[in-house]
Amino acid sequence: MPYEILDHAADAGVRGIGATLDEAFAEAARGMFALMAHLERVRPERTVDVAVEADTLEGLLVAWLGELLARRDIEGLLFSRFAVEIAREGSGWRLRGRARGEGVDPARHRLGVEVKAATYYGVRVGQDGDRFIAQCVVDL
């Protein structure tokens, strides 16, 4: 299933679409990194494990994308492949994810816009017919 980039006046929206909630979250991450670089040029050479928790699925999406942006900034990585497992934990939600990518190489990577943060603006997580949606606006 794909991701979509949503029009927004000053920033951009990303929508992950999947047959499962896990796939929708993974596609939302692909959409966010597609704003920053051509994903086809990002090699899956390094793997980063991510674990986040939140009280709501919307909070979990913002935390997931925010943690990936932190790893990008701290480790200088671009990611192109994602795997996600979401589970209920007590009254909240837990996500264990894996992102694969490589260090930024401006000579080889065609860089796009810089995403500064995932926001709660326009955040939506849910089921639409037989597909799951995970979307939010990201701050550029």
Strand 12-18 to strand 77-89: parallel, antiparallel, or no bridges (unpaired)? unpaired
Average pLDDT over residues 2-28: 93
Residue 129 has pLDDT above 90, yes or no: yes
Taking alpha carbons only, the member of 42, 46, 36, 47 closest to residue 105 is 42
pLDDT, tens digit (0-9, with 9 covering 90-100), for 13-23: 999 999 999 99
Q: Mean pLDDT, the chain, as a whole number?
A: 95
CB count, 10 Å around CB of 103?
13
Cα angle 39-43-48, degrees, rounded to a multiple of 5? 95
Please return the burial class of 71, using the count of CB atoms within 10 Å of its CB with bins 0-12, 13-18 and 19+: middle
CA distance 95 to 60: 7
Q: What is the DSSP letter of 7?
A: P
pLDDT confidence of residue 1: 61
pLDDT, tens digit (0-9, with 9 covering 90-100), for 112-128: 899 999 999 999 999 99
pLDDT confidence of residue 110: 86
Average pLDDT over residues 103-112: 89
